């Protein structure tokens, strides 16, 4: 048996143990809201483990070729983002490749720029994980190489490029996270954030001109402030008013600013805000998703068309879209692209689902189309500098 197969056996064994150590299953009502069929016991999903012991349809020649290259270059993958730390560790342990992790806190714009500026350089990123507006831009520029992973058919159609130059990997919803030790009363909506008690308290994760997280925060604000997916203008107006009131602080939210109290209220992805509660227990971090302003967006994986390690890049993609890779994202509180397929085949341990917010929080979630993304980005580029 190959080392990578042994590693996967160990992964499923540990996942089963973790699930068995938790209490009961997620209530059927939450499952129904997702349209899922969830198992009644961890042993049931673990029973069908034969498939998990294989290479999941990955060509052995690809694995050998990737090992021969010996390295994978990634960019902008902080370890505390959607469980990337565990994902990277698992990949290296499974296949024995070295990984160069450049600019871990970089933005989507910087990822595409690295492909452009390092073309032909061995330091160039082999793969990127960017927001939809930047994926569309990168595909239009010819920055990405088409590739279909073995599980490609199980990725929702609305989460992938028709030519397989990029496809969604995981999605989240914009939420309001806050330090409950410092913030009283607790904010429940975007409009609450305009109140005087939150002066110098509210931060975004990045700048909407370069960051998909921040763009998505503006989309959510638009939904809460009278706008729509077709009209992000009210979201820009919201932040203009937030700044005028003295509540918006010009500091990019990071784990460090959350831990220190520098950014006591953060508009960011649910999977990041949810993770802060476990990562920084002393901060007493809380997360709320405004139901009528629930905006969701996914990130997109793509292979550099001039990748210095093309086989390693393809193997990384295969790993991420395997059952193992997808469940590792779910452990990080994000919803993997193949969520419905995993649920249909009864591959999701109950403990992972139970860690997520109630299904009601996502019942009215909205996603922008490619056209809406492009229009919003153009409006942000034109108007954001003036707020």
Instruction: Record the pTM.
Output: 0.78
Closest CA to 18 of 387, 347, 352, 277: 352
Residue 31 has pLDDT above 90, yes or no: no
> Residue 295: which of 225, 244, 352, 240 has the closest Cα?
225
Q: Give the pLDDT band of residue 27 (cuts 50, 70, 90).
A: very low
Q: Tell me what pLDDT residue 41 has.
A: 28
pLDDT digits (tens, 9 = 90+) for 322-337: 999 999 999 999 999 9
> Is the pLDDT score of 263 beyond 60?
yes
Could you report the per-residue pLDDT of 86-99, keeping only the tens digit for each?
999 999 999 999 99
**Looking at residue 14, what is its pLDDT?**
59
Give yes or no for a contact between 329 and 170, defined as CB atoms under 8 angstroms apart: yes
Q: What is the pLDDT of residue 1?
A: 53
The pLDDT of residue 8 is 55
Q: What's the confidence (pLDDT) of residue 34?
A: 35
Per-residue pLDDT tens over the stretch 278-303: 999 999 999 999 988 999 999 999 99
Nearest to 293 by CA among 230, 224, 369: 224
Task: Say if residue 29's pLDDT is above 60.
Answer: no
pLDDT for 18 beyond 60: no
Residue 286: which of 144, 165, 174, 183 has the closest Cα?
A: 183
Q: How far apart are CA 216 and CA 230, in angstroms?
A: 13
- Residue 80 above 80 pLDDT? yes
CA 247 to chain centre: 27
Q: Are 307 and 123 in contact (CB under 8 A)?
A: no
For residue 144, pLDDT beyond 60: yes
Q: Closest Cα to residue 303, out of 313, 289, 311, 312?
A: 313
Report DSSP letters for 115-172, one per residue: HHHTTT-TTS-SEEEE-HHHHHHHHHHT-EE----TTGGGS-GGGB-TTSS-EEEEEE
Residue 10 has pLDDT above 70, yes or no: no
For 108-138, the pLDDT digits (tens) are 999 999 999 999 999 999 999 999 989 999 9
Model confidence over 52-74: pLDDT tens digits? 333 478 888 999 999 999 999 99
Buried b / exposed e over 306-323, threshold 16 CB at 10 Å, is bbbbbbbbbbbbbbbbbb
- Two tokens at 371? 């056209």
Query: Could you tell me which residues come within 8 angstroms of residue 60 by beta carbon, excluding any fewer than 6 positions away?
Result: none
Q: Give 152-206 pLDDT, tens digit per residue.
A: 999 999 999 999 999 999 999 999 999 999 999 999 999 999 999 999 999 999 9
Computed over every residue of the chain, the mean pLDDT equals 88
Q: Is residue 140 predicted with pLDDT exceeding 80? A: yes
| Domain spans in the chain, listed from the N-terminal domain onward | 172-296+366-386
In this structure, whether the domain defined by 172-296+366-386 belongs to CATH 3.40.190.10 is answered with: yes
C-alpha–C-alpha distance, residues 126 and 312, integer Å: 8
Give me the residues paired with residue 129 across strands: 301
Q: What was the pLDDT predicted at 356? A: 85
Length of the chain: 387
Q: Are 240 and 251 in contact (CB under 8 A)?
A: no
CA distances from 360 to 293, 309, 343 (A): 13, 43, 18
Residue 185 burial (CB < 10 Å; 0-12/13-18/19+)? Answer: exposed
Q: Residue 223 and residue 217: Cα distance in Å, rounded?
A: 10
């Amino acid at each position: 048996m190959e080392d990578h197969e042994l590693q996967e056996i160990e992964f499923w064994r540990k996942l089963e143990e973790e699930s068995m150590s938790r209490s009961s299953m997620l209530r059927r009502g939450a499952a129904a809201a997702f349209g899922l069929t969830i198992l009644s016991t961890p042993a049931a999903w673990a029973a069908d483990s034969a498939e998990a012991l294989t290479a999941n349809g990955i060509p052995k020649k690809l694995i050998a070729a990737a090992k021969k290259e010996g390295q994978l270059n990634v960019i902008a993958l902080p370890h505390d983002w959607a469980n990337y730390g565990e994902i990277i560790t698992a990949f290296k342990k499974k296949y024995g490749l070295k990984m160069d992790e450049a600019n871990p806190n970089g933005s989507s714009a910087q990822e595409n720029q690295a492909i452009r500026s390092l073309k032909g350089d061995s330091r160039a990123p082999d793969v990127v994980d960017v927001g939809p507006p930047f994926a569309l831009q990168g595909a239009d520029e010819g920055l990405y190489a088409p590739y279909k992973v073995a599980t490609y058919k199980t990725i929702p159609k609305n989460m992938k490029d028709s030519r397989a130059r990029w496809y969604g990997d995981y999605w989240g919803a914009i939420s309001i996270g806050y330090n409950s030790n410092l913030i009283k009363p607790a904010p429940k909506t975007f409009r609450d954030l305009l109140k005087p008690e939150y002066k110098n308290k509210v931060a975004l994760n990045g700048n909407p001109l370069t960051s998909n997280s921040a763009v998505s925060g503006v989309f959510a604000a638009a939904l809460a402030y009278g706008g729509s997916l077709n009209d992000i203008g009210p979201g820009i107006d919201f932040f203009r008013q937030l700044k005028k009131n003295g509540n918006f602080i010009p500091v990019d939210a990071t784990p460090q600013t959350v831990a220190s109290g520098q950014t006591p209220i953060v508009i960011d992805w649910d999977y990041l805000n949810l993770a802060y509660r476990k990562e920084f227990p002393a901060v007493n971090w809380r997360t709320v998703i405004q139901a009528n302003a629930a905006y969701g967006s996914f990130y997109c994986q793509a292979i550099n068309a001039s990748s210095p390690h093309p086989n390693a890049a393809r193997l990384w993609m295969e790993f991420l879209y395997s059952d193992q890779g997808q469940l590792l994202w779910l452990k990080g509180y994000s919803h993997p692209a193949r969520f419905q397929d995993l649920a249909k085949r009864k591959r999701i341990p109950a403990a992972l689902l139970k860690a997520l917010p109630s299904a009601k929080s996502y019942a009215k979630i909205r996603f922008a189309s490619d056209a809406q993304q492009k229009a919003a980005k153009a409006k942000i580029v034109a108007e954001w500098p003036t707020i």
